[in-house]
Amino acid sequence: MENAMTESDRAYDLIVIGTGPGGYHAAIRGAQLGLRVLAVEGEKVGGVCLNVGCIPTKALLHAAETLHHLKVAEAFGLKVEAALDHQRLAAWRDGVVKKLTGGVQGLLKGNRVDLVQGFARLVGPKEVEVGGSRYRARSLILATGSEPMPLKGFPFGEDVWDSTRALWVEEGLPRRLLVIGGGAVGLEFSQIYRRLGAEVTLIEYMPEVLPQGDRETAGLLRRALEKEGIRVLTGTQALGYEKKKDGLHVLLAPAEGGKEEKVVVDKVLVAVGRRPRTGGLGLEEAGIALDARGFVRVDARMETTHKGVYAVGDAARPPLLAHKAMREGLVAAENAAGKDSAFDYQVPNVVYTSPEWAGVGLTEEEARRAGYRVRVGRFPLAASGRALTLGAPEGLVKVVGDEETDLLLGVFIVGAQAGELIAEAALALEMGATATDLALTVHAHPTLSESLMEAAEAFHKKAIHVLNR
């Protein structure tokens, strides 16, 4: 059948390499705009996010949170016996993944996007080879995603896990786990394994977890995790390990130098970040420039250094977030179809621990460096009626704005459902709202969302449910 394909069969308006969030969004939008689209996938449809990233991780987080709630339910007058079945948990996780990846395949087919399985390599700026067959197009979108970044002295294998291996709860739980890296991945897996019964130590090289986020709310999240029994060591690095009969002896040291410490664990999870999957694609031979870290260079239109070739998602630039990739995929496809589209959006970030952490816009420090006269409004969730009824009083909503213009600059939340609440803040920033706009928006009571209004009121020293200082 493949040999019977004609040159016209292999000619497309748009070829998209990768079917993760950025790739499948690009392919579908291209088809919606009337383009003949080919999607190429080297592994599984849905990419890292749906198969071994966002979705299965959040499934495990929800299961671990449910188990945690069952264990603490006695505080609400409920007595429940809880037990963990690793195999059924894994089956449920896989069922969620299968349903979503099948949905993406259905959407591609329903939008008449052709799909070819295999690894693609550029043999020209707009021509790719897959499994010995060549396909060409007027435009090309690179959406090849990213992969876990290794750490010197900790090669991935049986004893040292990456985030994909950490999903395999059906293989059994380590009694003692060391997590290296205090970003979203490290924090989420730390809580998953702690709530499933492991002893967890987490280390972060920087002075605080979530080093790219707001330090005040990141610190609150760290303390909440410590209350659950996770040992968190910031300003700490891992130098190497030695395997002995009683476990892995890992050597830790202060990042700035000082007394070394050994911890003994059963497994190590390296979660120090991800790197773009751009190797082996033939990009440089095709005249497509990469930066020093291996990301494809793009402009606001998501176009690379070669006209008509675009890159989106983790392959293009940080932050490595699925929702950013989705929007970038739409922008690239619209430009490939002759539209004039640019990526100029507020991108929220969420850590799906419990409590959740979410942020969008400028932190206090970033706003000051940008020259604003910064003012902050805070509302603790301990003063929220809804948070108390949920048994989730830990947390804070923090509003950052400009004192002179009242312009809203950033919002940071740690607490229950922070990932849902941050959407309102992102919309406010997109619309150029002021703190007054947020304060004057009537929110339902009792809700968690009214904490945003309360924080905006505190910004103006007009808060009702906390003292104004």
Residue 415: count other Cβ atoms within 10 Å of its Cβ. Answer: 30
Tokens of 460: 């103006």
Specify the CATH number for the domain of residue 399: 3.30.390.30
What's the domain range around 51? Answer: 11-148+275-336
pLDDT average, residue stretch 165-180 = 96
Specify the CATH number for the domain of residue 215: 3.50.50.60
Smallest CA-to-CA distance from 107 within 31, 50, 11 is with: 31
- Asked whether residue 119 is domain-assigned, the answer is yes
Cα dihedral sign, 212-263-60-390: negative
Q: What is the pLDDT of residue 2?
A: 46
What is the three-class DSSP state of 310?
Answer: strand
| 325, containing H or E segment | helix 322-336
Q: Is the pLDDT of residue 361 over 60?
A: yes
| Tens of pLDDT, residues 280-326 | 999 988 899 999 999 999 999 999 999 999 999 999 999 999 999 99
State the total domains in the chain.
3
Q: What is the pLDDT of residue 9?
A: 64
Q: Are 402 and 330 contained in the same domain? A: no
Catalytic residue among 69, 445, 460, 465: 445
Q: Is the pLDDT of residue 4 over 60?
A: no
- Asked whether residue 466 is domain-assigned, the answer is no
Mean pLDDT score of the chain: 95
Q: What is the pLDDT of residue 80?
A: 87
| Tens of pLDDT, residues 121-135 | 999 888 999 999 999
Q: Are 130 and 116 contained in the same domain? A: yes
Cβ-count burial 216-247 (b if 16+ within 10 Å, e if not): bbbbbbbebbeeeebebbbebbbeebeeeeeb
Smallest CA-to-CA distance from 201 within 268, 109, 107 is with: 268
| Tens of pLDDT, residues 368-407 | 999 999 999 999 999 999 999 999 999 999 999 999 999 9
**What type of residue is 100?**
L
Rounded Cα distance, 85 and 89, in Å: 6
Give, rounded to a whole angstrom, the gap between the first and last alpha carbons of the chain: 75
In the annotation, is 25 catalytic? no
| Tens of pLDDT, residues 208-231 | 999 999 999 999 999 999 999 999
The model's pTM: 0.95
Q: Are 40 and 73 contained in the same domain? A: yes
Q: Are 143 and 279 contained in the same domain? A: yes
Rounded Cα distance, 369 and 84, in Å: 49
- Asked whether residue 409 is domain-assigned, the answer is yes
